[in-house]
Homo-oligomer: A and B are copies of this chain.
Amino acid sequence: MATKGKLIGKMVIGQSGGPTAVINQSLVGAVLEARKQASITGILGARHGIAGIMKEDFIDLTKQSAEQLELVATTPAAALGSVRLKPGKAECEKVFEVFRKNDVRYFFYIGGNDSAETAFIIAEMAKEANYDFCTVHIPKTIDNDLKVTDHCPGFASAARFVALAFMGDDRDNRALSGIKVNVVMGRSAGFLTAASALARQAPDDGPHLIYLPERIFDIEKFQQDVRDAVGKYGRCVIAASEGITNKDGDPISTSGERDSHGNIQLSGSGALGDTLAALVKDAFPGQKVRVRADTFGYLQRSFPTIVSPVDAKEAREVGMYAVNHAANTGQPGSVAIRRLNSKPYASECFITPLSTVAKVATEMKDEYISATGNDITQAWLDYVAPLVGELPKMGRL
């Protein structure tokens, strides 16, 4: 069926890793674009990513109504179901068996760097097996930690949630005073935690301290920072990444569990927030201080209606671009975003080799982090503000 240099066959698309508020935009963008491509003869949605492919658990996306797909596009979390699974050799063989059997010539995998690695492994296996095949990774992660791309679809909507949450919580803390610790998602990169700084509209607005995984978290320094902030503002709002570690690289506090990628479980537990709250209390011996901790948790990545317009648009575009690229070139790769301008904001998609994105993640540039290590810089705000969209103005008396 396939002729040399021109791939004709079905496509499989899957979603992987942690959901986001806009990952379904990428799915719907890819599906609607695929329907325009003569070389794509059918569209199979894999339920729960690689796990669904192995079980041939597909949803036929060839003929869903555009109306239904558009409703899915604005719905948070992965509509196909997601998975955290790195396929081993036996699993990859199974995947190929399924692909061959179903005449699948295109594979689109929407996810982060772990998912890019999966796509890369499968692309390599296809080459070895001499199977005419095209794999394209579609970027997605609220962590914003993929290499090459300016930023990752999913990040800006989560950043918008974090900014709004701090905006309201700072007013709450101002009303009842005290010290408030908020733990933000982000295993090894502080992008999302740093987005809390967008909540500031006046010089005394919180967050007053921001702790990122890119810097060593020193308990005594932290306690002194909090005392200083309370001395200055009479209160203190703190943004702490779930991924902060001490000088030995050990987490400050975790639930002790691991996910199926072998990563220590950080989210889905209030352990770190409660540990930091206890450290704050210890910083004020003999004093009655009101200390509270919240862990934003999964709400950050899947809250309906809190979506950055730029993020929704770009998430759709990376899906469309991936399919266009694959159908026109047959070449594997990962879609990335290039920022053309910040004011007014403009961007475009391009393709980078899978190997440049797979496995290894990136983190915040030094220029985005203050010299004190407990705050961000203007360069960071210039980078992040255009992505998140306009934020409401807070009134005060």
Contacts of A298 in B (CB 8 A): 169, 172, 180, 292, 294
Q: Is A269 interfacial (CB-CB < 8 Å)? A: yes
* Cβ of A84 to closest chain B Cβ, rounded Å: 7
Residue in B closest to A70 when the chains form the complex, CB atoms: B395
Contacts of A177 in B (CB 8 A): 48, 81
Stretch from A89-97, A301-309, A327-335 at the B interface: A301-309
Given A267-B292, A268-B277, A277-B268, CB of A76 within 8 Å of CB of B171: yes
Q: Is A196 interfacial (CB-CB < 8 Å)? A: no
Bound CA–CA A59/B301 (angstroms): 40
Instruction: Decide: A270 and B295 in contact? CB cutoff 8 A.
Output: yes
Q: Is A126 interfacial (CB-CB < 8 Å)? A: no
Residue in B closest to A68 when the chains form the complex, CB atoms: B395
Contacts of A73 in B (CB 8 A): 395
Bound CA–CA A81/B235 (angstroms): 13
Contacts of A292 in B (CB 8 A): 267-269, 297-298
Q: Is A29 interfacial (CB-CB < 8 Å)? A: no
Given A75-B395, A168-B299, A304-B167, CB of A270 within 8 Å of CB of B267: no
The answer, among B72, B79, B80, B174, for a CB contact under 8 Å with A81, is B174
Instruction: Decide: B71 and A393 in contact? CB cutoff 8 A.
Output: yes
Would you list the 10 A-B pairs with minimal beta carbon distance, nearest first?
A270-B270, A268-B292, A71-B395, A77-B171, A294-B297, A72-B395, A168-B302, A78-B175, A172-B302, A82-B175
13 additional A-B residue pairs with CB within 8 Å, beyond A72-B397, A270-B271: A73-B395, A75-B394, A78-B171, A78-B175, A79-B175, A79-B397, A164-B304, A169-B299, A268-B292, A268-B293, A269-B277, A294-B299, A304-B391
Binding site for B on A (CB under 8 A): 15, 18-19, 21, 24, 45, 48, 59, 61, 64, 68-84, 164-165, 167-169, 171-172, 174-177, 180, 255, 267-271, 273-274, 277, 291-299, 301-306, 391-397
